[in-house]
Amino acid sequence: MKNLLPAILITGALVMTGCSPQFWGGAAVGALGAGGGYEYQSKRQMDQLEDDYKSGRINREEYQDRKKQIERGSIIY
């Protein structure tokens, strides 16, 4: 689902603007910005998860479940 929205937006932009160099530069910057935002949020979630586990607010099972959820939504983790 996360990959579907950017694909739709890029396809729509191609139809409206053609294949101009300005479009490709803007698309690349936009894609990097969006990807960076997702990964930054994933890192914050993982850091918070680590803090919760180390402080005893969650148990090992919940830690593993939440970690898997974060990893599924991230390229880095």
Cα pseudo-dihedral 45, 3, 30, 15, rounded to 10: -160
Give yes or no for a contact between 73 and 1, defined as CB atoms under 8 angstroms apart. Answer: no
Residue recorded with tokens 């689902």: 1
What pLDDT sits at residue 14?
Answer: 62
Give yes or no for a contact between 50 and 64, defined as CB atoms under 8 angstroms apart. Answer: no
**Tens digits of per-residue pLDDT, 18-58?**
556 666 566 666 665 555 666 788 889 999 999 999 999 99
Considering the entire predicted model, what is its pTM?
A: 0.53
d(CA 49, CA 27): 33
Backbone angles phi, psi at 24, to 5 degrees: -65, -35
What pLDDT sits at residue 41?
Answer: 85
What pLDDT sits at residue 73?
Answer: 73
- Higher pLDDT: 49 or 13? It is 49
